[in-house]
Structure formats: structure tokens, C-alpha cells
């Protein structure tokens, strides 16, 4: 798939803009704080329904306006589709797919699949476990609407169990009911994540080898509730809940479960989460994101759009060149402040000049 056009109105620092992308590499060129990242953010918003930079939609509205609009036309194998979002200061966000309002955000998943790498994506490696869980969940939600609804169901059950624990007014039988519901959906989430990470790991290792010229190896493993088969995971999760019940009651929240799991990321024999250098963490995070692209394309039979924000400035010239080579055959939207020798062997890319909320 590829984005044919992006239209925005009263979005961030833009009054109005339209960008007609090419199917290959698109370079958003301009100085800092001119609006390049805002365009990528609008694509992310159209892809997963929320901004990767803020949980507050109203921050996306231009300060002079009362509402913002984003519209994207996507070309897919089966034809073109449109996604339109309207963000109002006084009403809930509206999302339309092919001109029709959707009632559930899950209906947006997969319409426009994107893989985005923002400057703080290094948190996939160097950040806390929540960053790595969020990475897996966002990727899986784009690949599977059923996973999106499964995650919603689990989080709702978890919230209700936690409220019950905090209230203090419960019986053992009541907790047993919530535990059974947690185990049912939680085991499926863990099973899905483990399978995803196992498949992702091979692609991540290959991309990391390419980016580092074979100088280092990358390995991903899931850390959390044990078991391989669904029945084994469910049994282990139920045992963890039973064993930790007294602690949960004392603390007022649920400790075990997929909301606590993590991903171990090793470069060679070193745990990159704690001991990797900034350069190693950034390269590993980039390899994981490129792996997400590969896996999505292999299993959905359609290549997602790749969004790269200011990634070149953090890489040395050889790795910049390798990354740009790697974008061949993928619609890529890249932001940067200047064109350097990394682009010398490329052809057919399109440059947009971005300045003060204007695109040319």
C-alpha cells in the first residue's frame, strides 16, 4: 500500500496543506520546528487513531481554530480508501473510513498500516517494559482487529479487578470470577505476543546484521508468564494470580499478567536494555522497526508505509546509506534538515520543502 495524498487543516502549525506523495522515498526537508514531524504525526494518527506524541487530541488543533481535520487517501491492491479524522475542541473525535463514520476504533485498524520511527523510539530498547509492550500491542493491533478487541477486553477486566481490590469490599468467590476472566483473555494476549516476537526476531536479526555490517548480533526473547501452548500459559497465569493474591490485596492492584511482561533485547551476550550504548540502542530499535515492516508485509501481503523522523542525524554515514538502501520498494516518508552524501546513490525520490507550516 501507499499514501497518495495527505490533506490537513488547522492541524498543529498548519492552516491548510496538501501533500501528494510518490510511491518511493519522500523527503520532508526543512529546519527544526517548521512542521515536518507534524506531517508524520498526522499519518500515524490516521493509522492507529491516536498521536504517538500526545494522548490529548485537542493539542493537535491549531491554536487559532476550533477544530482540525486530517484526510488521507491510500492506494491498496483492492483499490483506494480514505481515512478522515475531525478533532473538535468541544466534541469527541470523529473518524470516517471511505466517508462513513466508524463506531469503534478497531474498524480503523489495518486501513492504513504504518511503521513509524520517531527520535524517542530508542525507548523500545532503553526505556521501561511498558515501552516494549506498547510497541508489540500497536504492531499487533494494526495486523489484527481481533487482537485490538482482545486487548480492550483484558484492560477493562483488569481495571474492574483493580477497583475491586482497592474497595476492600470483596469475597474470595468474587475475585475468582475476575481471575477466570483475566486468565481467559490474558493467556491469549501472551500467546499472541510470544508468537509475534518469535517471528519478529528472525527479521530483526537480519536487519541488525545488515545495519551493522555483521559486526553485532541481535536477539529478542519474551519475559513473563511461562508456557508455550495456550493451555500451559493459562495454567501458569492462573497459578501466578493465586500465588500473588495476598500481595494484590495488600497493594490494591493486580501484579501478574501481560501488563507486567517485558522483552529481553540482547546484542551479543549483553542486555542492551541496561548496558547498550546509545548508538547500539538506536540501531537495535531501528532493526526492530524494520522487522515490523518485514513481518507485516509477509503476513498481510501488503507493504506498510515507513515513517522516519530525523533518524539520519543519529546515524553515521555508512548506516545512513544502508538505511536509505533498505527503503527501496517501500513507500517511505523521511524528515531531515539537509541532503548529504548519503543520498548520492539514490534516484527517483521526491523532496518537499517544509517551512513555517507550509509545504512546497
Q: Give 89-131 pLDDT, tens digit per residue.
A: 999 999 999 999 998 999 999 999 999 998 888 899 999 999 9
Sheet containing 2-11: order of strands = 14-20, 2-11, 67-76, 79-88, 94-97, 100-101
Q: Could you tell me the pTM of the whole model?
A: 0.91
Measured CA to CA, the distance from residue 341 to residue 312 in angstroms comes to: 12
Question: 237: domain CATH number?
Answer: 1.20.1050.90
Residue 291 has pLDDT above 90, yes or no: yes
Last residue of a domain, one of 301, 333, 348: 301
> Is residue 323 scored above 80 in pLDDT?
yes
164 and 231 co-located in one domain:
yes
Confidence bin at 77 (pLDDT 50/70/90): confident
Is residue 9's pLDDT more than 80? yes
Task: For residue 176, name the pLDDT band (cuts at 50, 70, 90).
Answer: very high
The CATH code of the domain that includes 17 is 3.40.50.300
What pLDDT is attached to residue 173? 87
Query: Residue 62: what pLDDT?
Result: 96
Are residues 274 and 177 part of one domain?
yes
Where among 251, 280, 301 does a domain terminate?
301
Q: Provide the domain count of the chain.
A: 2
- Calculate ∠ Cα 359-54-65, nearest 5°: 55
d(CA 111, CA 304): 10
Q: What is the pLDDT of residues 126-157, one digit of tens each?
A: 999 999 999 999 999 999 999 999 999 999 99
Domain hosting 210: range is 122-301
Question: Do 234 and 164 fall into the same domain?
Answer: yes
Q: Within the chain, what is the greatest distance between any pair of CA atoms?
A: 69
Mark whether 103 and 130 lie in a shared domain. Answer: no
**Helix axis angle, 129-143 relative to 172-212, nearest 10°?**
90
Cα torsion 278, 204, 222, 192 to 10°: value is 140
pLDDT of 163 above 90: yes
CB-based contact 273:126 (threshold 8 Å):
yes
Indicate whether 156 and 262 sit together in one domain. Answer: yes
Segment 321-344 shows an average pLDDT of 89
Identify whether residues 145 and 156 lie together within a single domain. yes
- What's the rounded Cα separation, in Å, for the pair 304 and 329? 11
Q: In this predicted model, what pLDDT tens digit does every residue of 223-250 receive, in sequence order? A: 999 999 999 999 999 999 999 999 999 9
315 pLDDT tier (thresholds 50, 70, 90): confident
Regarding whether 213 and 133 lie in a shared domain, the answer is: yes
Q: By percentage, how much of the chain surpasses pLDDT 90?
A: 81
- If phi > 0 it is left, if psi is from -120 to 50 it is alpha, else beta; for residue 98 that is left
* pLDDT tens by residue, 16-60: 999 999 999 999 999 999 999 999 999 999 999 999 999 999 999
- What is residue 277's predicted lDDT score, i.e. its pLDDT? 92
Same domain (yes/no): 104, 186: no
Round to whole Å and give the CA distance between 303 and 296: 7
Residue 38 has a pLDDT of: 96
Highest mean pLDDT, choosing among 4-8, 169-173, 312-316, 318-322: 4-8
How many helices (H) and strands (E) in the chain?
A: 10, 15
CB-CB contact of 83 with 74 (8 Å) = yes
- 210 and 172 co-located in one domain: yes
CA gap 210, 218 in Å, rounded: 11
pLDDT class for 320, splitting at 50, 70, 90? confident
Helices 129-143 and 145-167 pack at an angle, to 10 degrees, of 140
Per-residue pLDDT tens digits for 342-359: 888 788 899 999 999 999
More confident residue, 119 or 305: 305
CA distances from 280 to 125, 157, 266 (A): 9, 38, 10
Asked if 114 and 43 touch (Cβ cutoff 8 Å), the reply is yes
Higher pLDDT among residues 312 and 292, named by residue: 292
**Mean pLDDT score, 170-193:** 93
Amino acid at each position: 500500500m501507499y499514501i497518495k495524498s495527505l490533506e490537513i487543516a488547522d492541524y498543529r502549525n498548519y492552516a491548510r496543506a496538501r501533500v501528494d506523495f510518490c510511491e518511493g522515498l519522500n523527503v520532508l526537508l526543512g529546519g527544526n520546528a517548521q512542521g515536518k514531524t507534524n506531517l508524520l504525526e498526522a499519518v500515524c494518527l490516521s493509522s492507529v487513531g491516536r498521536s504517538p506524541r500526545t494522548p490529548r487530541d485537542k493539542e493537535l488543533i491549531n491554536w487559532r481554530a476550533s477544530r482540525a481535520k486530517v484526510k488521507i487517501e491510500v492506494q491498496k491492491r483492492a483499490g483506494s480508501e480514505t481515512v478522515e479524522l475531525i478533532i473538535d475542541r468541544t466534541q469527541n473525535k470523529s473518524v470516517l473510513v471511505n466517508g462513513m463514520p466508524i463506531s469503534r476504533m478497531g474498524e480503523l485498524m489495518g486501513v492504513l498500516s504504518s511503521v513509524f520511527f520517531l527520535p524517542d523510539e530508542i525507548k523500545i530498547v532503553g526505556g521501561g517494559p511498558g515501552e516494549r509492550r506498547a510497541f508489540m500491542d500497536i504492531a499487533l493491533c494494526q495486523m489484527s482487529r481481533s487482537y485490538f478487541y482482545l486487548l480492550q477486553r483484558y484492560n477493562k477486566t483488569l481495571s474492574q479487578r483493580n477497583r475491586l481490590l482497592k474497595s476492600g469490599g470483596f469475597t474470595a468467590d468474587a475475585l475468582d470470577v475476575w481471575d477466570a476472566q483475566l486468565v481467559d483473555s490474558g493467556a491469549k494476549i501472551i500467546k499472541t505476543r510470544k508468537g509475534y516476537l518469535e517471528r519478529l526476531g528472525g527479521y530483526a536479526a537480519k536487519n541488525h546484521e545488515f545495519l551493522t555490517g555483521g559486526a553485532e548480533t541481535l536477539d529478542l526473547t519474551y519475559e513473563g508468564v511461562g508456557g508455550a501452548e495456550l493451555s500451559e500459559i493459562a495454567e501458569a497465569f492462573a497459578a501466578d494470580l493465586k500465588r500473588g493474591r495476598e500481595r494484590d490485596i495488600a497493594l490494591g492492584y493486580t501484579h501478574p499478567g501481560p501488563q507486567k511482561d517485558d522483552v529481553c533485547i540482547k546484542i551479543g551476550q549483553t542486555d542492551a536494555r541496561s548496558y547498550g550504548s546509545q548508538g547500539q540502542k538506536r540501531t537495535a530499535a531501528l532493526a526492530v522497526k524494520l522487522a515490523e515492516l518485514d513481518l507485516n508485509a509477509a503476513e498481510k501481503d501488503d507493504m506498510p508505509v515507513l515513517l522516519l523522523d530525523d533518524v539520519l542525524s543519529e546515524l553515521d554515514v555508512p548506516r545512513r546509506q544502508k538505511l536509505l538502501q533498505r527503503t527501496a520498494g517501500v513507500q517511505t516518508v523521511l524528515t531531515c534538515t539537509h541532503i548529504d552524501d548519503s543520498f548520492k546513490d539514490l534516484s527517483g525520490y521526491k523532496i518537499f520543502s517544509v517551512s513555517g507550516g507550509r509545504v512546497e
